[in-house]
Amino acid sequence: MQWIKYEREGHIATITMNRPERLNAWGKSTSDELAEAFQQYDDDEEARVAILCGAGRAFCAGGDAKDYRERQAPWSKSPQDELGIFGQSKLFKPVIGAIQGHCLGAGLLLIAMRCDIRIAADNASFGLPEVAVGIVNCMVGISNQALPLCVLMEMAMTADPIDAKRAYELGMINKVVPLADLMAEARKMAERIAKNSPDAIRWTKQNLLKSYEVTKEAKALESELFQLSSNSRGAIDGFSAVAGKSKLKW
């Protein structure tokens, strides 16, 4: 794998998004490799807990604008449908997110739909910038996080990020720690989980995920609206502006 690293020490696997020069921005190749890494984790009989993290200054800065511009609106469905790592494939082993720097757009969706426990560095920020580039926020996976509707509306409509302190107060993350302690805290949590029955952990996660499952109708509508917006002229112009580091006026 080129963009994703899978490592295991004892019962703990570490999955690292490894595109630091692009702030681990999300593209199709990254998605495919991350799906492969999650499958490797699921198949690894010695791995009981995984830590998902990003190399460098960011966890994931969202969709890769350069990848989008080069492919000209590459998505035919919503990310959850086309990029199966967001929930298409079932994963009942636990995943801990270790989040630093930017966690935006696809990054926020990733922790909402893949990270069961989330530990954030004090420099982390969380946001949904999609409307700033002309596409629909894919929030079906976030809407089951027990966040107030007004908070989701604010994040989705302003495209402004929130800091780690507010994310903790809203219940989006479990703990905020100094950046220097992030991986140590994530590993401490992983070690605590790994001491318990792996079968009971998987069954517990399966049960909880089912109880928080979103409706098929909501997923279908999101896919339709995302396809409509991502293939629009506005989205192409928006991502091109971001990729070229220019300002866009609506």
pLDDT digits (tens, 9 = 90+) for 178-220: 999 999 999 999 999 999 999 999 999 999 988 887 777 877 7
Residue 113 has pLDDT above 50, yes or no: yes
Q: How many residues does the chain have?
A: 250
Beta bridge partners of 163: 125
Say how many C-beta atoms besides its own lie within 10 A of residue 130's C-beta.
24
Task: Quote the tokens at residue 241.
Answer: 């502006």
Residue 108 is predicted with a pLDDT of 92
Task: Return d(Cα 198, Cα 46) in angstroms, integer.
Answer: 10
The answer to whether the Cα torsion of 30, 31, 36, 38 is positive or negative is positive
CATH: 3.60.21.10, 3.90.1150.10, 3.90.226.10, 3.40.50.2300. Which one for 4-179+198-243?
3.90.226.10
pLDDT of residue 196: 98
Please give the share of the chain, as a percent, with pLDDT higher than 90.
54
142-154 mean pLDDT: 84
Q: Which of 18, 54, 15 is nearest to 35 (CA)?
A: 15
Cα gap 219→216, rounded to integer Å: 5
pLDDT at 224: 78
For the record, the structure tokens of 27 come out as 């593209």
List of residues 6+ apart from 76 with CB closer than 8 A: 82, 227
Sheet with 102-104, side-by-side order of all strands: 102-104, 125-127, 162-163
Q: In which residue are the tokens 């499952």 written? A: 213
Sorted by sequence, the CB contacts under 8 Å of residue 166 that are 6+ apart come out as none
This prediction has a pTM of 0.85
Shortest CA distance to 40 belongs to which of 102, 107, 104, 89?
89
Tokens of 94: 């636990």
